[in-house]
A and B are shown apart, each in its own frame.
Chain A
Amino acid sequence: MKSHFRTIMAWLHTWAGLPCGWLLYLIFLSGSIGYLDTEIDRWMNPHFQIGVHDETADQRAATALARLQERAAGAARWFIVLPTDRNDPLVRILWTPQAEPSGATPRAGSALLDPASGQPLTSQHSLGGQFLYRLHYQLHYLPLPLAYWLVGLCSLAMLVALITGVIVHKKIFVEFFTFRPGKGIRSWLDFHNLLSVSSLPFQLMITYSGLVFFAFTYMPLVVVAHYGLDPAGRDSFASAAFEAGESYPRSGTPHELAPLGPMLRQAEARWGVGRVNGIDIRQPGDADARVLLRPNQDSPLRSTEIMVFDGRNGALLGIRPAVGGVAKAMHDLLLGLHEGLYAGPWLRALYVLSGLAGAGMIASGLILWAEKRRLRVERTSGRAHAGLRLVERLNVGTLLGLPIAIAAYFWANRLLPAGWPPRAAWEGHVLFIVWGLCLLHAAWRPVDRAWREQAWGAALAYAAIPLLNVLTCVRHAPSTWLAGDWVFAGFDLATLAVGLAFAALARRLGRRQPAEGLRA
Chain B
Amino acid sequence: MSHAFAPGRRAIAWRLAAALLAGYAASNGLAIGLAALLPGGKAEAVLAATMLSFLLYALAVLWAFAARTPGLAWLGLLLLGGLGLLPYLWLDLR
Contact = CB atoms under 8 A, between A and B. Distances in A.
Interface of A: 4-5, 7-14, 16, 156, 159-160, 163-164, 168, 208, 211-212, 215-216, 218-219, 221-223, 225-227, 237, 240-241, 325-328, 330-331, 334
22 contacts: A8-B66, A10-B2, A11-B5, A11-B65, A12-B65, A13-B1, A156-B57, A160-B58, A163-B58, A208-B54, A219-B31, A222-B28, A222-B31, A222-B46, A226-B35, A226-B88, A240-B43, A325-B41, A325-B44, A327-B44, A330-B51, A334-B51
A215 B50 contact: yes
B46 A223 contact: yes
Give 3 closest A-B pairs by Cβ, nearest first: A10-B1, A240-B43, A327-B48
A236 B51 CA distance: 18
Chain A interface SS verdict (over half): helix
Contacts of B62: 9, 12, 160, 163-164
Contact of B53 (A9, A16, A219, A327): A219
B32 interface: yes
Contacts of B57: 156
Given A9-B62, A221-B28, A330 B48 contact: yes
A182 B51 CA distance: 43
Contacts, number: 113
B49 interface: yes
A328 B40 CA distance: 11
B73 to A, nearest CB: 12
B40 A327 contact: yes
Contacts of A156: 54, 57-58, 61
Contacts of A221: 28, 31-32
B63 to A, nearest CB: 11
A216 B58 contact: no
Interface in B20-62: 27-28, 31-32, 35-36, 40-51, 53-55, 57-59, 61-62
B50 A219 contact: yes
Given A7-B4, A208-B55, 11 more contacts: A5-B66, A8-B66, A14-B1, A211-B54, A218-B54, A219-B53, A222-B35, A237-B46, A325-B44, A331-B51, A334-B51
